[in-house]
A and B are shown apart, each in its own frame.
Chain A
Amino acid sequence: MKLKALLFFPLLAGFMALWITLSQARAGDLPASDYAPRSGKLTAQEMTMARNAWQYFVANYQPTTGLVNAVNKYPSTTMWDSASYLAALTAARELGIIDKAEFDRRMLKILATINKLDLFRNELPNKAYNTLTAQKVNYTNKPGEIGFSALDIGRMLIWLKVIKERYPEYGNSIDNIVLGWDFSHAVDPCGTLYGAYLENGQPKYVQEGRLGYEEYGAAGFQLWGFNTCQASRPQPYELAEIYCVLVPYDTRDPRATSQHNYVVTESYLLYGLEFGFDNPNDRNNSPRNYSHPWMKNFADRVYQAQENRYTITGVLTARSEHQLDKAPYFVYDTVYTDGYDWNTITDKGQFMPSAAAVSLKAALGMWVLWDSPYTDRLMSAIENANEEGKGYYEGLYENGDGPIKEFTANNNGIMLEALLFKKEGKLLQFNTDNPKNRNFAPSLWEKKLVDLFEENNARRNRPFLESTPSVKNWCQQTGTTQRTKPACQACQCASCNADEPVKLPPVTAQCLKP
């Protein structure tokens, strides 16, 4: 009898295994959600890639300001591109391409420059700066101001936070930078992000950010304590069926808002690399436990649509916004925009199908976040697409016209980020000064925020930090009075509930319909 029972055990185990595999392979799941992120030490070939990418930052460094040109040899930059440079700098140090001395020299210089920047209307950094003089400039690099971009500032806030956490010795410099900024027009009580532009010399503040980029930018504000409820929620969105995948896109009408709702790899990619698809404040670094599930899910869809396009049509696809080496010099090369799949448009909305390209940053980012045969193929397509002393090309034209012979800080910076991700996992790693810890020493930023007598807090629309027991202790110790949040949450914003769970939409519709 006993023997028989023993015989049944493997059979039972087999059935269990079968049942588990079957239940995992439900019809609703995308293969992308089963591809693990790559991790481990960099191979010699990957290290060579990292060194090649770093070449861009050697060639385009401006010793007078410590800034790096956003585009090869063109002395202008934005907050977004400078954040990409900070990312590259971090990666170069962590991967051992530069030593600490070089890192410190560069970091001291750029933080000082950012701290002294001439802000737009004394609020937030202007959209563009001259890298030779650190003067605020317009898009033709002539002195002048044009407005600020909430998304650019969001990305900069993320990287300032990453550096502050990784290298606490820079905490003061970084806190001083952010303390100098005025957020009164950038975030509203419902947590919507606003950018600014000038109209007849008067500043106009308009909602900024579309699904993907909006949540990524908002994460930066969130890291510094802002409530970004409305910007961080995916609504309003709908789904477009693209090669069997329902890809989410922002439904705010591009015709009415003149903001295109482009779906590209980059926004989801950066979220994956920097936060590991976790909530921005998630201090846990467990690679396959995503505490921001809908972001991971949406990223999987954007990835899968591109893999499917390759499988079905044979066009190698890694879409992102990118520069061009000829007019119109910049396109949004999208998975979906303005009602069309695989739409490639200029910022004016002009259709430019011949500019479609495999974006190198998107390709390498996809390679590291999704370990699949397809991303191996992408990798072999791009690994040697660089020029000695210049860095990696912006992209490879889909129509076979060869490389886009342009080099940018953003492209090379994100490529370095991706390689660092392989080595270390998500890039935002909190250091040990957990506010819940008894011995927690608050930073300059936190001290100012809780100080009731700091008049700039209200004037510059600085957030309320969530009070922790240790902060209270410290307040009691130093006699600082703590700012308290207004009691009534609903009077701040009745229409947004940050804790409401997001229901994941179905992944595919027509394709699997029997």
Chain B
Amino acid sequence: MRTRDALLSARSYITILLGFLLGFAIVVWVEKQMPTRVESSGGMALSKDFPPLPTSRALTFEEAIWARVAWQYYVNNTQPNGLPNAQDGQAWFSLWSAGSYLLAVIAAQQLHILSEAESDARISNALATLGGLPLTPQGVPAAYYHADTLKILGKPETSAIGMGRLLVALQTLLWRSPQHAEAVRDLFNRWQVGALIVTSGATQAAAPLHHWALASDEPRNSFGYRLYASHTLRLIDSAAGLAVTNPPEGQQMIDIDGIMVPDEGLRTPWGRQPSLISLPYLLTGLELGFDAQSAEIAFRIMQIQQRRHSLRVRKPPISTDYAEPAPDFINDLPNRQPVDNEALRDAPPELTAITSTRSAFAWYALFRNSWSEALRQQAQALQVPGKGWQRGFNLNNSVNSVIDADTNAIVLESLAYIAHGQMLCLACFNPAPRSPSSAGATP
């Protein structure tokens, strides 16, 4: 038998073997493309070259205008009941966006956009409305509401992370304007916030055992957001802090361009995908002041971005923010065309990734260097006169023209940070009372 004949008769086996090899090669190649993931439970220490944080300075004229453009969003979108829409013209809000609103009011007052009387009135209205919200069967506010009717939107589920942000705002409020303390206390007399945390028995033998966990599925269930929310959620009770800071599956790190950053693990239909979100760390810096962990992670993310930005042969810039989907409207808004958000909701983060205005402004406020300045200049084209700031740029560089409460609140917070430093500052002086803005300053 000649070799040729032998090969001929073995052709089907050879094909199969080649197929296996090809398949295996593809798997190996794909594996190589994925960032390395390392599990680590060790904390992070601040780098030696961590830059000095900027000192407060007065806003420039243009910054003052940008802040007012952002505030215009709330002028347009505040409902008669006192709470604003989370998206321009869309009558819904979340616990998260309610927190954003309160922080935006505080920032706007600090920047002299609002008179003291107006911001007081706005805060009282918002607190009164929050106090009247219908609650879930557990006695806590739901994650999403209709902004006009104040009915629960979707299933009556709650959000511990959203509550965390609302708590940041309320805490700031307590410290800055104690006259609202009573209204805040009334909220927590009504809300059974303890129900956000459950004591769980281990359900699977293989899963690491945790005694406390968040009670519901989180729209923002990622390491960074948990870390951010943990600062105030731990004020609920001693179990709460443990529940938030213990991520359910252990914290993983990914290696991007040789720098290790936490893998955020945003939920997708295919399980967790490696992703990187800068916003929670930036929010920590703007609102509560950095700790070594959040400062270091933010610093590392910045380094990755900066390196890619300044490479001579450009690597594609990576996005550290994503477009958050609106909640599921399908069966909920009575007089509205159903909005099918299913696709957007389940899309992996890399498809909804954006270069966002909110993080551009936050970087600009927290780390003042040429890179953050360039980022901010890029975002400058995104203001819409009379409406506020658009969300950012999509991956294909088209404008993501959604105008939302979060973006505009964080623009205000960032500018307030430039002028006054972090939002919640227990050791800062109470600002001296000032006269309201008046026409007729003498020349």
Binds B, one of A23-31, A127-135, A321-329, A380-388: A23-31
Residue B132 lies at the interface, judged by CB distance under 8 Å to chain A: no
In the complex where A510-B112, A514-B56 touch, is A244 in contact with B419 (Cβ < 8 A)? no
Interface residues of A in 451-482 (CB under 8 A from B): none
Residue B277 lies at the interface, judged by CB distance under 8 Å to chain A: no
Smallest CB–CB gap between B57 and chain A, Å? 7
Chain A residue nearest in CB terms to B438:
A241
Smallest CB–CB gap between B54 and chain A, Å? 13
Interface residues of B in 55-94 (CB under 8 A from A): 56-62, 64-65, 68-69, 72
Return chain A residues, CB-CB under 8 Å to B57: 514
Chain B residue nearest in CB terms to A514:
B58
Return chain B residues, CB-CB under 8 Å to A313: 72, 385-386
Contact A312 B61 (CB under 8 A): no
Return chain B residues, CB-CB under 8 Å to A201: none
Residue A104 lies at the interface, judged by CB distance under 8 Å to chain B: no
Contact B437 A510 (CB under 8 A): yes
- 8 Å CB contact of B64 from A341, A506, A512: A512
Residue B384 lies at the interface, judged by CB distance under 8 Å to chain A: yes
**How far is it, in angstroms, between the C-alpha of A336 and the C-alpha of B440 when the chains are bound?**
12
Residue B443 lies at the interface, judged by CB distance under 8 Å to chain A: yes
Return chain A residues, CB-CB under 8 Å to B443: 237-239, 248, 503, 505
Chain B residue nearest in CB terms to A236:
B443
Interface residues of B in 384-443 (CB under 8 A from A): 384-387, 419-420, 434, 437-443
- 8 Å CB contact of A29 from B61, B384, B385, B437: B61
Chain A residue nearest in CB terms to B72:
A312
Return chain A residues, CB-CB under 8 Å to B419: 514
Write the B307-346 contact mask toward A (1 if CB under 8 angstroms, else 0). 0000000000000000000000000000000000000000
Return chain B residues, CB-CB under 8 Å to A25: 60
In the complex where A311-B69, A514-B419 touch, is A31 in contact with B62 (Cβ < 8 A)? yes
Contact B58 A314 (CB under 8 A): no
Chain A residue nearest in CB terms to B67:
A511
Smallest CB–CB gap between A49 and chain B, Å? 24
In the complex where A312-B72, A313-B385, A314-B387 touch, is A512 in contact with B441 (Cβ < 8 A)? no
Of A243, A244, A308, A506, most buried by chain B (CB within 10 Å of CB) is A244
Return chain B residues, CB-CB under 8 Å to A315: 386
Return chain A residues, CB-CB under 8 Å to B437: 241, 509-510
In the complex where A238-B441, A240-B440 touch, is A312 in contact with B58 (Cβ < 8 A)? no
Chain A residue nearest in CB terms to B111:
A511
**How far is it, in angstroms, between the C-alpha of A506 and the C-alpha of B61 when the chains are bound?**
12
Residue A513 lies at the interface, judged by CB distance under 8 Å to chain B: yes
Smallest CB–CB gap between B23 and chain A, Å? 56
Residue A411 lies at the interface, judged by CB distance under 8 Å to chain B: no
Residue A310 lies at the interface, judged by CB distance under 8 Å to chain B: yes
Residue B383 lies at the interface, judged by CB distance under 8 Å to chain A: yes
Contact B68 A243 (CB under 8 A): yes
Return chain B residues, CB-CB under 8 Å to A514: 56-59, 419-420
- 8 Å CB contact of B112 from A30, A243, A513: A513
Chain B residue nearest in CB terms to A251:
B440
- 8 Å CB contact of A244 from B56, B58, B65, B386: B65
**How far is it, in angstroms, between the C-alpha of A339 and the C-alpha of B439 when the chains are bound?**
8
Contact A312 B69 (CB under 8 A): yes
Return chain B residues, CB-CB under 8 Å to A512: 58-61, 64
Smallest CB–CB gap between B65 and chain A, Å? 6
**How far is it, in angstroms, between the C-alpha of A157 and the C-alpha of B440 when the chains are bound?**
34
Smallest CB–CB gap between A348 and chain B, Å? 23
Contact A244 B61 (CB under 8 A): yes
Smallest CB–CB gap between A249 and chain B, Å? 9
Chain A residue nearest in CB terms to B443:
A505
Interface residues of B in 367-389 (CB under 8 A from A): 383-387
Contact A239 B440 (CB under 8 A): yes
In the complex where A27-B60, A314-B385, A511-B112 touch, is A238 in contact with B440 (Cβ < 8 A)? yes
Residue A246 lies at the interface, judged by CB distance under 8 Å to chain B: yes
**How far is it, in angstroms, between the C-alpha of A25 and the C-alpha of B65 when the chains are bound?**
15
In the complex where A512-B64, A513-B112, A514-B420 touch, is A314 in contact with B386 (Cβ < 8 A)? yes
**How far is it, in angstroms, between the C-alpha of A307 and the C-alpha of B232 when the chains are bound?**
42
Contact A312 B441 (CB under 8 A): no
**How far is it, in angstroms, between the C-alpha of A314 and the C-alpha of B16 when the chains are bound?**
66
Of A237, A310, A314, most buried by chain B (CB within 10 Å of CB) is A314
Return chain A residues, CB-CB under 8 Å to B65: 243-244, 308, 311-312
Return chain B residues, CB-CB under 8 Å to A510: 112, 437
Interface residues of A in 324-343 (CB under 8 A from B): 336, 339, 341
Contact B61 A511 (CB under 8 A): yes
Residue A508 lies at the interface, judged by CB distance under 8 Å to chain B: yes
Smallest CB–CB gap between A251 and chain B, Å? 8
Interface residues of A in 229-287 (CB under 8 A from B): 237-244, 246, 248
Return chain B residues, CB-CB under 8 Å to A314: 72, 384-387
Contact A513 B58 (CB under 8 A): yes
Contact B441 A311 (CB under 8 A): no
Return chain B residues, CB-CB under 8 Å to A244: 61, 64-65, 68
Chain B residue nearest in CB terms to A341:
B439
Write the A486-512 contact mask toward B (1 if CB under 8 angstroms, else 0). 000000000000000001011111111
- 8 Å CB contact of B442 from A238, A241, A507: A238
Interface residues of A in 289-332 (CB under 8 A from B): 308, 310-315
Return chain A residues, CB-CB under 8 Å to B438: 241
Contact A312 B386 (CB under 8 A): yes
**How far is it, in angstroms, between the C-alpha of A310 and the C-alpha of B387 when the chains are bound?**
11
**How far is it, in angstroms, between the C-alpha of A311 and the C-alpha of B420 when the chains are bound?**
24
**How far is it, in angstroms, between the C-alpha of A245 and the C-alpha of B269 when the chains are bound?**
52
Contact A511 B441 (CB under 8 A): no
Return chain B residues, CB-CB under 8 Å to A29: 61
Return chain B residues, CB-CB under 8 Å to A239: 440-443
Chain A residue nearest in CB terms to B66:
A311
Chain B residue nearest in CB terms to A509:
B441
**How far is it, in angstroms, between the C-alpha of A255 and the C-alpha of B68 when the chains are bound?**
33
Smallest CB–CB gap between A501 and chain B, Å? 14
**How far is it, in angstroms, between the C-alpha of A242 and the C-alpha of B437 when the chains are bound?**
10
Smallest CB–CB gap between A140 and chain B, Å? 38
Return chain B residues, CB-CB under 8 Å to A248: 443
Of A239, A339, A508, A513, most buried by chain B (CB within 10 Å of CB) is A513
Contact A312 B440 (CB under 8 A): no
Chain A residue nearest in CB terms to B70:
A312
Smallest CB–CB gap between B181 and chain A, Å? 27
Of B62, B72, B112, B443, most buried by chain A (CB within 10 Å of CB) is B443
22 of the cross-chain contacts (CB-CB < 8 Å) are: A27-B58, A238-B442, A239-B443, A241-B437, A241-B438, A241-B439, A242-B439, A243-B68, A244-B61, A311-B385, A312-B68, A312-B69, A312-B72, A313-B385, A314-B386, A339-B439, A341-B439, A503-B443, A508-B61, A508-B64, A511-B59, A514-B419
19 further A-B pairs in the complex, CB-CB below 8 A; given A238-B440, A240-B439, A244-B65 = A27-B60, A30-B61, A31-B62, A238-B441, A239-B442, A241-B438, A241-B441, A243-B65, A244-B64, A310-B386, A311-B65, A312-B68, A313-B385, A315-B386, A339-B439, A511-B61, A511-B112, A514-B58, A514-B419
| Ranked 10 nearest A-B pairs via Cβ | A314-B386, A505-B443, A240-B439, A314-B385, A511-B64, A514-B58, A510-B437, A510-B112, A312-B68, A238-B440
